[in-house]
Every structure is written in structure tokens, then in C-alpha cells.
A and B are shown apart, each in its own frame.
Chain A
Amino acid sequence: MQAGFCRLPLTFDAPRLLADLARISRDDWHAHFNADYHDGGWTGLALRAVAGSAVALYPEPRPEAAYADTPLLAALPEFGQALARFHCPLHAVRLLRLAAGSRIREHRDYGLGFDQGLVRLHVPLVTGPDVEFYLDGERVAMGAGECWYLDLSRPHRVQNNGTIDRIHLVLDCEVDDWLVSHFPSEAEGAAQRLSPAMVAAAAQSSQRQFEAFRDLVLRDAALLAPLRREEEPTRFSELVVETGRQLGFRFTRDDVASALQAARRAWLERTLVS
């Protein structure tokens, strides 16, 4: 289970689930709880939540018994059937919508992991090539209707560069024998990471664009000098993005923030025994 992500052998009929979802009005989507890490375009619906909780979207670590189906799930029969296919105990289950043009800044989610007995699965319902999900600096390309495990205790971020909202079904699952039996072996996992879809997604990612820009800058003292003079972090990031844009590179402040964070980690972890 060392890989940061892998696809599980479960597929869902995304169009059918979306048809079910059409019963819900747009107003029912609540602003997602974690306002520090996104830019306002992140909303969600709770399908299973802590009963009576005022912040139903907030998946606190609690015993499974504290979680219950919400009235909303009762109104969505297709989702009820989809959830029934998970034979492991389910904690929080949510629909998360990331609006077109929005992003979720790099962060880690704690309290999740095989060692903690609780893992988070994602089932994309609406997605596309313009949605870029990065885990630990690697792009993870997830298709609609697929089911993915992601180790979200590692740094991750999302940007929706597309024109439609991204919608994922997100399930917090208790680790039991049923769940473990659905994980691919090491060899299957490795093959999947090298799938053509993954390679293609990585090649056209904005992070790849940033890395190409960085390589160029490191060979050009004239480009480096003004960037080294700017020491205020926000203005620096803007200057990097703008310098890249003028040279024809398409990447975002999030790509810059993620690379800065990786460099900070490399420095802070320099004394750890590898």
C-alpha cells in the first residue's frame, strides 16, 4: 500500500448518477468547510454525515456508528444503490463540486490512512482533461465513473481550468477485509501508474509547463536576476507566473506554491535518516 494512489476495480454509471443529481437544486450545495484552502468555488452535499451535526460536511474522525444517511440520500435512489456496493463500513460520504476556474490549494488531510483504519475514495462524476489533480507532485488523471484511492495525507491540490464544474463522489471507508481485497497488487498498481492516460495527462499538465519554465530560467542569468530581487512572497509568485506567461508557458500560482513547498520540505527534512 505504499503507492500514493491507485484505481480500484469498481466502476459506476456516471451519467445515471448525474441524472439522479439533477433533482437537486443548485442552492442545496453548501460552501465547503475548508475556506482556507480554496478560492470560494468549492461546495458540497452530504449523503452520509454525523447525525444532527451543524456542519454536516465536516468529516470528523468518529466511530462509524455516529454516521448516518442524510435525508438527501433518501431522495437520490441511484446514489443509494451506488453506496450499497461498498461492503465496508462508510463514514462521511459527500458530493464535492469544484466550480469551473476554481482551485484547491495544496494541503494535507490528516486522520486518514491505512494505519488509521480509514481511507478516502474518489469517484469522479463530472471531470475532464482540464481538471488537474496533483498528489505529491504527480498528476493523477481520474476518469468519470472510475473509483480511486488516494493517500490524501500527502500534499495534494486541484485546479479546474475547464468551463464546467467538477463533481466527485467522495467516500470515507473503514479498512476491512472487503476493502483490502479490492486493492491491486504492487505489480498491477505499477502498470496502472504507467498507463497511456497517465503519461498523456502528465505531459500536458501545467506543472510540466512550470518545470520546463524553471529549467529555462536556471540557464539564463538575465531571467534569474529580476526574480531573485523580488523577496515578497506574493509579488514573487505573481512575477514568476507573469514571466512564464510572457515566454509562452501556461502554469499557475499553485504550481509555484507547490514547488516552493517541495523545496521547503527538502530543506526541513535534510537531517532525517532516509
Chain B
Amino acid sequence: MTHHTTPAGAGPTAASRRARVLTHLVLILALAATILPFLWMLLASFKTQGELLRDPSGWLPTSPTWNNYATWLGQLRIGHYFLNSVVVAVFTVLGNLLFCSMIGYVLAKLNFPGKRALFALVMITLMVPAVVTFVPLFVMVAKLQLVNSYPALILPYIASPLGVFLMRQFMLGIPDSLLEAAKIDGAGQVRIFFRIVLPMCGPPLATLTILTFLGSWNNFLWPLVVAQSQDKYTLPVALALYSQGQNATNYALLLAGSVLVIAPMVALFMALQRFFVQGVATTGIK
């Protein structure tokens, strides 16, 4: 671009440089608006409650303290809720990977009566608002005496229509000749699926893993209702209940808790941001 400029083109270069500076300025302002709340939260989490109340919009802690974090890690057992979140997220992801890829294969590669109806059914449920199934689901879980159990936290999320859509779209691109060849060699459907199709599905499986893990980690309302004793709380539930409890006025502690809830996801995101962004860009879905 810039190598087009001739000596006479000093004007355009200056103009384009000005445009670039202006663009950066806009981007930096927008970046500030997205990042500063997190930065403020991080700094404030090292303050004492007293300092926070004296100056609710100040930035630097005058005498930084680890106390808020020490309380969460020790007395408030946040490690336990962290483990719960991990267990729920891992099983939710594993379930989705298996179930969604299996039915995705069926919808992409096999022919059978009822296929179109099955796909339509899955697609329609993508639009069902969460509140529609919320209470019937709770009644069922209660009748099965699963309230306050890991299965109740995991099972409703291990078969997501979104995952089916994702896997099907990718598998449509796998050439049929490959499957035909395997069939000639005497492979059954099970072997074709596990030995040929699944190993080719790295990209959509990675995307599905990330989206499901993220969704599970940040899921709030259902765990809030279903996890009824402390030993089953996930991180957001523990934080939410803490912020409504009798200690709710200890804002400094609350902010440190928020940092601890957000930090693992942000760290994971930073490490895997390329895949996160690709996943979102290719599926167009959060």
C-alpha cells in the first residue's frame, strides 16, 4: 500500500497516517471501556472494606492486602466449588462430544426414513427459551430425587442441539467415497464412525469443547436452583449466594471472589484465544 507513494504523494501518506492514528485512538477507547472494569476489580480486590467504602471510585489500594483472597481460599473453601465446577464442566463436555458427534454423523451421512423430521426437531429446539423447560425440568428432577446431585447439574446439558448442528455441518464436508471405501473393506458403521469419521473431526470437536466448557462454567440459574447444599455449589452459585448472605456487605471480599470466579476462564481464554475466536467465527454462535 505505502509503496505506491511518490514524492508528490507526501500528502496522502500523512492523511493515511492520521487515519491510522485516529483508528487506533477509537480502538484504544473501546478497549479501555471493555478492560477497565476488570482492572478496577482486580485492584479493588486488594483493598480493605473500609477503604472501598471511603472511596468507591478510587483505583490504587493504599495498603494492598491479601486478606480477601485468604478468606476465600481458606475459610470459604472456594477450592471445593472450583472442583465442582470442573467436574460438572468436564462431564458436560464429554457427554456432548460423544452424543452430538454420533447423531451428527447420522444426520450428515446416513439415509433413513424420518431423517428430515429429526433434524427439524433438533433445529426448532435451538430457539426454545430457557424458561419454557425450566420448571417442568425441575419437577422431573425432583421426582427422580436427583436434586442436589451431580447428575442433575450435568444431564440436562449433555445433549445440546447446537452441538448437533455443529457436528453435522462439519461432517457434511467429509467425502462419501471415504466411507464407501471403508464399507467395501468390510467395516461396519461403528468402526467407520470411530476409526474414520471421528478422527477427522478435530476442528468441530475443539469448538464444541470450548463452547460447552464456557457455557457450563458460566451457567448460573439452573445450578442455583438445583445445587441446594454447599457441597454441590458451583463457583457462580457460591459467589451469588455469598453476595446475598449475611456477609453481603463485605464488598472487598465479594470483589476478590469475582476475580477468582472469572480468572480461570480468562486464563484459559488467553491461552486458547485463537481457537475460541475461530470457533465463534466459523459457527457464528457464542
- The judgment on whether A and B are partners is no
Q: Using a CB–CB distance below 8 Å, which chain B residues touch chain A?
A: none
